[in-house]
Structure 1
Amino acid sequence: MKFGVLTFGYDSFTSFADQLANHGFYEANLGDNAQSIAIRHIYRHFGVRDDQMIDINRDALPQYDGEPALLLMNGVFYQSAFPLPAAITPVFVGFHAPEHVIKEQQDFLRKHQPIGCRDEGTTVRMRNLGIEAFTTGCLTLALPRREQEPKNPKLLIVYGSGAGRLPPIVFRSIPENILSKAELIYHRFHASRFPFDLEMRREAELYEEALFARYRREATLVLTPLHHVAAPCMAFGIPTIICRDGNDVRFSFVEKLLPIYTPDKFDQINWNPPMIDVGVVRADLLRVVGNKLIAALHRATS
């Protein structure tokens, strides 16, 4: 029995293929790889060796024909991820899916209830269909706190595109003494092959690991519109500010821990925010994952 780590090939993302054809490259969201990093960390926490882990492409899940594996279903799942092959034993923690996917897969989800969901919106969608569900938050909140804080103040502004765009007007609100010590990081990965092959999936994850190391090493404050920057940075113990054009359901758990500022509230931003202690959230996540892994392993081997 192997322990599956979700990776992301984007095989069904036709918009990426179009961008590649038209422009010679496309950009993928590095936040997906944050989840792969978190899954590996959690497996190691429970004593799973690296040689017991196996990469499994979320975007080609139905075609998986490798060894039997448990798979932590942490992340966003589209219809292209279903049906799961018999070799996969899913472990639902931090799960998110669009409403139509949940409706189409409701019989399958009932077989594995209760479903641990990444956000309140997904939990509500499940319960509305009579599926037992509860909210866990994202597994990136279980990443370990950094061991040492940087001595010199630095704001890292980490942004994306589309829904992950940082509203430019926020720069008017940043105090000059903070902005003068700021650096910008574009949280996207440029790709020249479609879909991601194994080499590119690993390269993207390594790049995200390098960014995580930089956050831990340099940041005294992070400003971001991105879920998978805000959640890991909170776990690292970095004071974090979330600014977005608008809110959405994916942030409903994170919003319990941090305010989400939209342009009408930029004048209310606290530019000296406290570090959020996610110790209780981390402990709860690890407890839930541990229990679910034990149950799934028993189910898969009995």
Structure 2
Amino acid sequence: MSKNALLDYKATGGYFNIGDYVQSIAAKQYFSNIDLLLNREYLNDKNIEPCKLIMNGWFMYKTKNWPISPNIDPLFVSFHLNAHIADTLLSRQENITYLKQYEPIGCRDFYTVNILKKYGVDSYYSSCLTTTLPKIEVPKTDDIVFFDVLFNLDKKSYYERIPRHYYRDLIKFKLPKLQDHKEYLKSIFPEEIVNNAKFETAFYKEKGTTSEDRFKEAERLLKTFASAKLVITSRIHCALPCLAMGTPVIFIMGGLNNSSDLSRLDGIVQHFNMVNLDSGLDLSSLKNLNLIKLDEINWEEPIPNPTSHLQYTQHLIDRCTDFTKN
């Protein structure tokens, strides 16, 4: 009998991105039970038992490990291909042949839709599965949560996580100015707001942790989002669950400097209220943005979220429900 599987993940630089586990929790709700945890980077493992797996989220690093095991019965919805590996993955005919078995591929963003179509794989925009997360019944607070706001600009924390990059940049005389990130945020947002905000992060240390620990941390963060008065973030997998929870969220665009960063956003950030601090970044490819200015943020009575994501949620729910029941 086929088992039920869920995606697990491999740490990068000694840290996990808990946003990945939020993605897995979004898939988990459609299964009556979970029998297997499968590492996203090693889905070609010959020892994988016959199972069903929802293939949502960010894929991936190890392109040599595709196509995945024939013992996996996959559902491709809310699927994203990392722009750095997409052409490499899709340049191999065996991977295209594999994906075409499961057409149409439901994609989390328009970049993935377009790159799959470029290689002859039928695909469509499905939106993200995390927008179907159920609301969590927790007491509401007056907390304003800052979740990895402009984290790409926090070089001090970056070097603490990956010390070898500090020495690499030091040797190359490319070491940027290091400053306390919280103090930097005070130069952008009202100092009183920053001082009183609740700070959270998706970076989670690998050492001494289990998959169970990481899922528990993701669940804790979801409860934090659900209880907050307002969430400020530069993480799409904080902002997307906030839409599902009904918590006002403002996405802060800043510190993006490569095609991979920007490619992940088209079809996602259109569902948020957003402040763009990247004055040098060309956003012309992103249509129908809900842009607001910093001084338009209402800290006492936050502006409600857009509802454009709702037109996709029922389709996602139906596809996942049909897949796991049949």
The TM-score, its normalising length taken from structure 2, stands at 0.73
Alignment correspondent of 2:22:
34
1:280 corresponds to 2:311:
yes
The answer as to whether partners of 1:9 and 1:201 remain within 8 angstroms in 2 is no
The answer as to whether partners of 2:55 and 2:77 remain within 8 angstroms in 1 is yes
- SS of 2:200's partner is strand
1:121-140 residue CA offsets vs partner (Å, 9 max, x unmatched): 00010111121000112211
1:141 corresponds to 2:142:
no
Q: CA deviation at 1:115?
A: 0.4
Q: Aligned pair in 2 of structure 1 residues 109, 215: CA closer, same or farther (>3 Å)?
A: same
Q: CA deviation at 1:164?
A: 8.2
- SS of 2:199's partner is strand
| 2-structure distance, mates of 1:187, 1:77 | 18
The answer as to whether partners of 1:222 and 1:240 remain within 8 angstroms in 2 is yes
Q: Aligned pair in 2 of structure 1 residues 204, 81: CA closer, same or farther (>3 Å)?
A: farther
| 2-structure distance, mates of 1:147, 1:280 | 24
Instruction: Name which of 52, 56, 70 aligns with 2:38.
Output: 56
Alignment correspondent of 2:73:
89
Instruction: Name which of 262, 266, 284 aligns with 1:252.
Output: 266
| 1-structure distance, mates of 2:153, 2:73 | 32
Q: Aligned pair in 2 of structure 1 residues 264, 156: CA closer, same or farther (>3 Å)?
A: same
1:185-218 residue CA offsets vs partner (Å, 9 max, x unmatched): 122111227xxxxx6222111111112122223x
1:202 corresponds to 2:207:
no
1:268 corresponds to 2:252:
no
The answer as to whether partners of 1:94 and 1:138 remain within 8 angstroms in 2 is yes
The answer as to whether partners of 1:5 and 1:54 remain within 8 angstroms in 2 is yes
Residues 95-174 of structure 1 correspond to what in structure 2 (within 5 A)? Answer: 95-98=79-82, 99-100=86-87, 101-104=89-92, 105-147=95-137, 150=140, 152-159=141-148, 163=152, 170-174=185-189
1:281-302 residue CA offsets vs partner (Å, 9 max, x unmatched): 32221123234556xx5xxxxx
| 2-structure distance, mates of 1:267, 1:113 | 38
Paired AA for residue 225 in structure 1: S
| 1-structure distance, mates of 2:314, 2:136 | 16
The answer as to whether partners of 1:9 and 1:60 remain within 8 angstroms in 2 is no
> Relative to total residues, which structure has the larger helix share, 1 or 2?
1
| 2-structure distance, mates of 1:235, 1:147 | 12
The answer as to whether partners of 1:164 and 1:225 remain within 8 angstroms in 2 is no
Instruction: Name which of 232, 247, 260 aligns with 1:238.
Output: 247
RMSD: 2.8
Q: CA deviation at 1:117?
A: 0.8
The answer as to whether partners of 2:55 and 2:76 remain within 8 angstroms in 1 is yes
User: Identical aligned pairs, as a percentage?
Assistant: 24
| 2-structure distance, mates of 1:215, 1:64 | 39
More displaced stretch, 165-174 vs 89-98: 165-174
Q: How many residues align?
A: 269
Which ranges of structure 1 fall in alignment gaps of 5 or more residues?
Answer: 17-25, 194-198, 298-302
The answer as to whether partners of 1:160 and 1:188 remain within 8 angstroms in 2 is no
| 2-structure distance, mates of 1:182, 1:57 | 35
Which ranges of structure 2 fall in alignment gaps of 5 or more residues?
Answer: 156-180, 280-290
- SS of 2:242's partner is helix
The answer as to whether partners of 2:55 and 2:79 remain within 8 angstroms in 1 is yes
| 2-structure distance, mates of 1:182, 1:8 | 30
Paired AA for residue 204 in structure 1: R
The answer as to whether partners of 2:239 and 2:272 remain within 8 angstroms in 1 is no
